[in-house]
Amino acid sequence: MHHPKFNDFPADFLWGAASAAYQVEGAWDADGKGPSVWDLFTKLPGKTFEGSNGDVAVDHYHRVEEDVALMAEMGLKAYRFSVSWPRIFPTGRGEVNEAGLAFYERLIDSLIAHGIEPVLTLYHWDLPQALQEEYGGWEDRRIIDDFERYCVTLYQRFAGKVKYWVSLNEQNYNLTNAYQLGTHPPAVQDRKRFFAANHIAFLANARVIKAFRQHVPGGLIGPSFAYSPAYPASCDPKDMLAFENAEEFTNLWWLDAYCFGRYPQAALAYLRENGEAPEILAGDLELLREGTPDYIGVNYYYTLTFTDNPIGGQTMQRINTTGQKGTTPSSGVPGLYKTTPNPHLETSNWDWAIDPTGMRIALRRLSSRYGLPLMITENGLGEFDKLTADGRVHDDYRIAYLRSHLKACQEALQDGAELLGYCAWSFTDILSWLNGYQKRYGFVYVERDEQGGSLRRIKKESFHWYKSVIASGGKTL
């Protein structure tokens, strides 16, 4: 669709930015916090870039007032953050760690005092290590009760202060890396275990959404999904079928389970044929249908292009974690699909396709299929930002990226999507899970590398640009 003109962004549009606990907080064992799976995994040789970890991260835990003051200076309308489960329950269950709750209450109160809407993510991958050791984490149904107990604790504490909640963040991306590629803890490569863990995570997600409606009247909750819309490499019917396979297995498997309480038919039939389908017990699908979301959080970074992959063909491969452009291999599932470069798109140094039109396509597909409000809960560009001799960071490339994607949001609004807000990834620079501190996303530069640093905060050019966009309600795009 080509529109002759565009309406303004809604007056109540949430112009925001985002982060995640492990990537920014540091203070990994402070004030009673227990270890998460990432606290141990990142200490294993060869798992992350130059052995980087989140022990200190960017020390948001001790600099929360400074960081919120910068958010207020920028004029943010929303800030999405996550709560660390082992900071609240050090062993995943048992006694509540009041110091952990007090930290998040201080953050939330500070945001509200500055007119910033808190968007609280319940789970952003930092599973308590104790639960992984006790029963295998997401591979055991016992986690459903433990996760609900943790979430209800947060509901009861923050129900009157937080309206927008995210249940699970990027379940698809996290568990793909954890159980297929072996690059996230527990570092398994087993497709049957992958689908089993996902099914249990779906049940946990539905359970905590059901509980949410009892404890947070008037609130909105939904998962954040890493949506990379699938494209066919050509109009060859083989590529079209590969595209259909990829969209079902890399996107709709999760989205349909969240929103419809069922799995895509062809994908489920294929898994049953190959002995990889999850065990679906009596009552499971009923629970999924009872725990559907109020909105969908969309984490959009890139699209993926797919071509035919015969039986015995290309297997799944690990992604580029070095920033050496052009080093990402083709990856796929034999008999279903494999990725191929899109010749029409530029890529980042991490080989992520830069495709703002893909964001518009993502929002249109989701809006048309599920009929739910949407929120961009992550979107941003990770690059090698450099601090110049005059103490500035000239990140015009990030401004161009964000501008084009915000314009795509405006186009999607014109197409009829209900878009609640846009949370850029990220507010400050962060620890990138596998890429260390070299891959920078923030509006605020944090002076540190894999060996450490002063942690000084420096506003990038993009900080001032986004500030002006927010002040204009998007009119300066």
Burial string for 228-237 (b: 16+ CB within 10 Å, else e) reads bbbbbbeeee
The residue type found at 254 is: W
Q: Which helix (H) or strand (E) holds 107?
A: helix 98-113
Q: How far apart are CA 171 and CA 185, in angstroms?
A: 13
Whether residue 434 contacts residue 49, with contact meaning beta carbons closer than 8 Å, is answered with: yes
Instruction: Find the catalytic residue in 25, 117, 244, 378.
Output: 378
Spatial CA neighbour of 41 closest among 52, 33, 30: 52
Bridging pattern class, strands 304-307 and 164-169: unpaired
Whether residue 311 contacts residue 335, with contact meaning beta carbons closer than 8 Å, is answered with: yes
Whether residue 222 contacts residue 293, with contact meaning beta carbons closer than 8 Å, is answered with: yes
**45 beta partners:** none
Cβ atoms < 10 Å from Cβ of 203 = 24
Tell me if residue 65 is catalytic.
no
Burial string for 295-316 (b: 16+ CB within 10 Å, else e) reads bbbbbbbbbbbbbbbeeeebeb
Strands (E), 96-147: 117-123
Residues 6+ apart with CB under 8 A from 426: 17, 18, 19, 23, 24, 380, 441, 442, 443
Write the CA distances from 388 to 122, 349, 392, integer angstroms. 38, 20, 5
Q: Which helix (H) or strand (E) holds 299?
A: strand 296-299
Peptide bond into 472 cis (omega under 30): no
Instruction: Find the catalytic residue in 139, 170, 244, 247.
Output: 170
Spatial CA neighbour of 1 closest among 342, 412, 367: 412
DSSP symbol at 214: H
Burial class (CB within 10 angstroms; exposed 0-12, middle 13-18, buried 19+) of 30: middle
Tokens of 240: 């079209």
Supply φ then ψ for residue 418, to 5 degrees: -95, 105
Whether residue 100 contacts residue 88, with contact meaning beta carbons closer than 8 Å, is answered with: yes
Please name the residue that has the structure tokens 């540091």: 26
Tokens of 287: 């629970």
**128 beta partners:** 36
Tell me if residue 247 is catalytic.
no
**Could you list the active site residues?**
170, 378
